Structure 1
Amino acid sequence: MSTENALLTILVEKIHNDTLVLPTLPAVALKVRKAADNPDINLSAMADVVSQDPSLSARLVKIANSAYLGRSVKVTSIQQAVTRIGLRQIKNIATALAMEQLFVSKNDIVKGYMSRIWVDTIDIVASSMAVLQIHTNQTKNRALNLDSMMLAALIHNIGVLPILTEAERHADVFANPTFLDVALEKLAGKIGTSIMIEWGFEPEFVDITQNCKDLSVTSDTVSYLDLVRVASALCGKFNNHEEEIFKGAVDIGLIDDLSALLSDEFNELCDNAKQIFL
């Protein structure tokens, strides 16, 4: 058996036996998500939860002052930041900001993969958020929101993490781009779906990890899945299927035409979104 097939066989077997070690959300994200799901939570109590993590607190203050929220009056405290962002949005934004902590490795080859995937993911996040803003401006449809869009794009390829972790554990055998590329392509979607279910995410997020690359899965109305696909195509992640994806986006009314995605406005919106993660 080739090394490539050996890695795939091990991963598939662990998936079937439910023994694949899935990543866990960072503790601060779990705390924020649990607090946000409490119907009795208020802004003050949420600020207390967030303030337990200085790094998250600083980044939320930065977001509250960013072009992402489009506000000119600066906030200086986590209480003010949470108030401006809102209880509904804070759950997804805090989770999104914590995601970067998962993309770490001590193995040079795996670390390289982690770094490249994170950079690519942020490009897709920024593009998807910009596409959503263009869509909202053109159609006045506000059914989808930016904080969920951000998180949806961040988790769309989350299934790569257990694969790379497994490669790191057996680096002498599996930490090789020749077969890591195949494993990531073949298994990331299936594993990502398991992660979303394990983390207790809503069905719309499970749908993205499960069906992002399966273009036979479509919807009649604009969804986060459609936006992630368009953003991925803009970032060159759909080999030879970009035209199909862009045509589908126009057909369902996601955008009027492609010119909006080539505009200075679109580029500015992308840059604003990227600033969140700097």
Structure 2
Amino acid sequence: MGTENALYTILVEKIKQKSLVLPTLPEVALKVREAADDPQINLGQMSDIISHDPALSMGMLKVANSAILGRGVKVETVNQAVTRIGLRQIKSIATAMALEQVFVSENEIVSLYLKKSWAKTIDVASVAITLMTFYQKEHKHSPLTLDTLTLAALIHSIGVLPILTEAECHPDVFANPTFLQQAIIKLSSKVGAEVTRAWDLSEEFTEIVQNWSDLTVLPAEVSYLDFIRAGAIYNGIFKNEATQEVLIKSYVNKGVLPDIDFMNSDEFKDLLHDVKSMFN
């Protein structure tokens, strides 16, 4: 227990001192974000940047051909994909698609935890994206955007990474996954907020990462938090049944869900399958 308490104390102190080692965005994501902020950038130049990264290129093609963009005529080149997605959305989508590169470690045990964390992140994000897609069909003038939700959902648990990196220095902690999970639950949102600031994301993302698991924060209007939390409910992250019931009812009242049983419907599950395939 001494090692576990020591890790917790170290994490808290490093957070206070802002000395915790934070993950960095993949270089290609940084280049895309910088280019997207350039008012002179055009679709061809953006396509060239993305084409230099095979994994990101493939991700863009999957997004462009996905059900959430209406499928239509299949696109086969990065230039066509960027044209379909659009420069306004490309910044968030490219960052989201590059994130898997962050969830890696040369340590075998840490790598296993990171893979599990990424898989859970994909599960939650896929539900959130699916629900947002249905929501937008009925609320065409909503200020919420799919590209912002996609990135928000894929970084909602980004705080896990620095915690696991720090825990790597304390091998005994991995022998007690219960403690490690408790450390993640207590600290990951706060750490995640620091990551969003280090990545120079907008304050909107910081607030989402910081608050998604804090159920005392309940926005009156429909928000990105609602979709991410619905994903957490669907994947058993919020385990209290009374809490699940209250949240689901509120999402029906707000229009996030058409009805209480919507996430059990074939319509929902079919689109969810298509959305998840973007990340495989």
TM-score, scaled relative to structure 1: 0.94
Q: Which residue of 1 aligns with 2:252?
A: 250
1:38-70 per-residue CA deviation (whole Å, 9 max, x = no partner) reads 122111111121122122123212322232322
Q: Which residue of 1 aligns with 2:34?
A: 34
Measure the CA separation in 2 of the matches of 1:64 and 1:38. 23
Correspondences of 1:65-84 after superposition (within 5 Å): 65-84=65-84
Letter in 1 for 2:42: N
The question of whether the paired residues in 2 share the 8 Å contact of 1:4 and 1:183 is answered with no
Shift of the alpha carbon at 1:253? 2.8
Q: Which residue of 2 aligns with 1:112?
A: 112
Q: Which residue of 2 aligns with 1:173?
A: 172
Measure the CA separation in 2 of the matches of 1:129 and 1:55. 21
Pair 1:224 & 2:224 matched: yes
Letter in 1 for 2:270: E
The question of whether the paired residues in 2 share the 8 Å contact of 1:4 and 1:182 is answered with no
Q: Which residue of 1 aligns with 2:263?
A: 261
Q: 3-state SS of the aligned residue for 1:68? A: helix
Measure the CA separation in 1 of the matches of 2:72 and 2:2. 58
TM-score, scaled relative to structure 2: 0.93
Letter in 1 for 2:174: A
Measure the CA separation in 1 of the matches of 2:274 and 2:105. 28
Provide runs of 4+ in structure 1 moved above 4 Å.
none
Measure the CA separation in 2 of the matches of 1:150 and 1:125. 7
Correspondences of 1:34-183 after superposition (within 5 Å): 34-168=34-168, 170-176=169-175, 177-183=177-183
The question of whether the paired residues in 2 share the 8 Å contact of 1:207 and 1:225 is answered with no
Pair 1:22 & 2:22 matched: yes
Letter in 2 for 1:255: L
Q: Which residue of 1 aligns with 2:278?
A: 276
Letter in 1 for 2:201: F
Letter in 2 for 1:163: I
Identity fraction in percent:
51
Q: 3-state SS of the aligned residue for 1:277? A: coil
Q: Which residue of 1 aligns with 2:4?
A: 4
Question: How large is the Cα RMSD of the aligned pairs?
Answer: 1.6
The question of whether the paired residues in 1 share the 8 Å contact of 2:7 and 2:170 is answered with no
Is the deviation greater in 204-213 or in 250-259?
A: 250-259
Change in 2 beyond 3 A, CA 1:183/1:274: same
Shift of the alpha carbon at 1:232? 0.6
Change in 2 beyond 3 A, CA 1:136/1:58: closer
Shift of the alpha carbon at 1:134? 2.3
Letter in 2 for 1:178: T
Shift of the alpha carbon at 1:90? 1.1
Shift of the alpha carbon at 1:178? 3.3
The question of whether the paired residues in 1 share the 8 Å contact of 2:159 and 2:188 is answered with yes
Unaligned runs of 5+ in 1: none
Measure the CA separation in 2 of the matches of 1:92 and 1:139. 21
Q: 3-state SS of the aligned residue for 1:175? A: helix
Q: 3-state SS of the aligned residue for 1:111? A: helix
Measure the CA separation in 2 of the matches of 1:181 and 1:80. 43
Unaligned runs of 5+ in 2: none
The question of whether the paired residues in 1 share the 8 Å contact of 2:3 and 2:170 is answered with no
Shift of the alpha carbon at 1:260? 2.1
Shift of the alpha carbon at 1:171? 4.2
Measure the CA separation in 2 of the matches of 1:275 and 1:184. 28
